[in-house]
Structure 1
Amino acid sequence: MTSRPLSQYDHPYYCAEGNYFKNGQHLTYASWTDFHTEWGDLDDDLNAVFRWDWNTPDPADYCPPDCAGHDDGECDEIPDTTLLVHWVLQRKAILRSTECPVTEADEPAIRKWLTRKASYVRSIWEPLLNTAEQQAA
């Protein structure tokens, strides 16, 4: 089975970065490697991922068709493609988000990591999932 690239998934609605009740809960990293070094192997029970978004900026949002280029001051520089991850640090009930620039070359490692995170969240909902799947059929 071939899956779509992560960049092609558009999740319903959105999730705000950080934590509404406490500043400093959105952390940014220079690369996937830097992010994974700090967050990659943390205990899933204590650091549950409940959402991820692969954000690819649309160039039209930053450089309109009538813009002559980025050097004329009329256009904004197009930001990096990023992976935005939303967490619940369950033991302390902390909501937090992290973000890092990503490339297509990072996708296999990201997919592997997110699959592990999804398996953990699925284990929480497992008692209801089989019932929901049966009811939907």
Structure 2
Amino acid sequence: MSTSSQTPHLWEIDHPYYCEPGNFYKTGQHTEFDSWQQFVDETLFATGDPDLNLLFRWDWHKPGHHDWDGPEQLLLFFVLQRKSFNCSVQIAVTEADEPAVRAWLAERAKTVTAIWAPIALPEPEKPWLPRGGHDATCAYVSGMTTRCTCATEGGAR
């Protein structure tokens, strides 16, 4: 597990479903790079306009995680918005690449966030933390709610 319980390593994240590399309608839309540095040095996907080459998904595959037994790799999935098609990139990576990859992904996340910002989801309700003990019927203790329902705490708040 990562050093911080709040932030898992990129290879520890198991995204729902999967994305097939390449493009169903056109062959040759999947490019492989031997290293993160090669990707950064040789392609505008790394340094170009994040709106034109919109990153919509990434998957870090590492042997021993999420039933993956192939080589360690980072898959990046893009929509080329002005051309109306998708493509993918496969990069051989190591654990040492994680800080640079994470920083790059964080920058690309800003683009996707800006697209969805007009219909942003409401903030989740913050739990009210009770001051004392709970009785056995308290919904807070059972996990049914984020609010204390104990008679001793004055009921739902």
Aligned position for 1:133 = 122
Say which of 21, 26, 32 aligns to 2:36.
32
Structure 2 unaligned segments of length 5 or more: list them: 126-157
Q: What SS does the aligned partner of 2:19 have?
A: coil
Q: After the TM superposition, which residues 37-56 of structure 1 pair with which residues of structure 2 at under 5 Å, given as runs?
A: 37=41, 38=43, 39-56=45-62
**Distance in 1 (alpha carbons) for counterparts of 2:64 and 2:7:** 23
Q: After the TM superposition, which residues 1-137 of structure 1 pair with which residues of structure 2 at under 5 Å, given as runs?
A: 2-37=6-41, 38=43, 39-58=45-64, 79-129=70-120, 132-134=121-123, 136-137=124-125
Question: Higher mean Cα deviation, 83-92 or 29-38?
Answer: 29-38
Q: Which has the higher contact order (CA 8 A, sep 6+)?
A: 1
Point out 4+ residue stretches in structure 1 off by more than 6 angstroms: none
Count of residues in Structure 1 that have an aligned counterpart in Structure 2 = 118
Amino acid at match of 2:81: Q
Offset at residue 4 of structure 1 (A): 1.2
Q: CA RMSD in A?
A: 2.0
Q: Normalised by the size of structure 1, how large is the TM-score?
A: 0.79
Amino acid at match of 1:106: D
Offset at residue 35 of structure 1 (A): 1.1
| Identity between Structure 1 and Structure 2 (%) | 43
Offset at residue 56 of structure 1 (A): 1.2
Structure 1 unaligned segments of length 5 or more: list them: 63-77
Larger-gyration structure (1/2): 2
